[in-house]
Chain A
Amino acid sequence: AQTVTQSQPEMSVQEAETVTLSCTYDTSESDYYLFWYKQPPSRQMILVIRQEAYKQQNATENRFSVNFQKAAKSFSLKISDSQLGDAAMYFCAYRSGGNAGNMLTFGGGTRLMVKP
């Protein structure tokens, strides 16, 4: 079974600064997908960014980018120019390849606080 580990229960960043959230995973599969989800106090799960394991290029979505190290099984999220609205729980998630029905396995989450 796959496992996802987020080693930072809490992180803090100054507004406008950059922060990196860590995520490692364990799998024997070669085909899989990785996601970062944001969960604000409303508890709605919001997709931040996704990465296909077969792609070497790191995904980028505006201020959000990832550092995907397949050999090291690492998938960190970098948030640039942090904003107050970025404060939330962030979950790293793993999904097996194969079909669109496969479930997500989540890491334990990192609570991000943004200081004004």
Chain B
Amino acid sequence: GAVVSQHPSWVICKSGTSVKIECRSLDFQATTMFWYRQFPKQSLMLMATSNEGSKATYEQGVEKDKFLINHASLTLSTLTVTSAHPEDSSFYICSASISTGALNSPLHFGNGTRLTVT
């Protein structure tokens, strides 16, 4: 159980276009989802916290107008990279915790999306 599906697993887009990444909790409800970014050989850096039915909370230095997050239901959060540039190329990972889970519940991660902007 506790499966998080992330789509697409990889995407190549041209500079200036927008890309949408979906994160779905398949068998549980997630009031909160998290979006991380990982550069090669580096750790996961939190970009934003996505809350169902409300605005996302962005970490310092993350442009909210560039990385649009929508969490319209308890099982789906989307990250849209708008007007993508080559420096946005990275690995993006979403994660979620069960809404009614215990306090020590781990985050469940999607398989990640490798974005390449040409």
Task: Check A100–B111 contact: CB distance below 8 A.
Answer: no
Interface residues on B, range: 20 to 34
Task: Check B111–A44 contact: CB distance below 8 A.
Answer: yes
Q: A43-B91, A91-B43, A108-B42 are in contact. Are A101 and B104 (CB under 8 A)?
A: no
Task: Check B34–A47 contact: CB distance below 8 A.
Answer: no
A106 within 8 A of B: yes
Measured CA separation A43–B43 after assembly (Å): 11
Interface residues on A, range: 20 to 34
Q: Which B residues touch A106, using CB under 8 A?
A: 43-45
A3 to chain B, nearest CB (A): 12
Q: Which A residues touch B93, using CB under 8 A?
A: 43, 45
Q: A33-B104, A43-B91, A43-B111 are in contact. Are A100 and B99 (CB under 8 A)?
A: yes
**Secondary structure call for the B interface:** loop
B49 to chain A, nearest CB (A): 6
* Residue among A45, A97, A101, A108 making CB contact with B97, cutoff 8 Å: A101
- Nearest 9 Cβ contacts at the A-B interface: A101-B32, A45-B109, A100-B101, A47-B106, A100-B97, A106-B43, A106-B44, A108-B43, A103-B34
**Pairs A–B under 8 Å by Cβ, sample size 10:** A33-B103, A43-B91, A43-B111, A43-B112, A45-B44, A50-B106, A91-B44, A103-B34, A104-B107, A106-B43
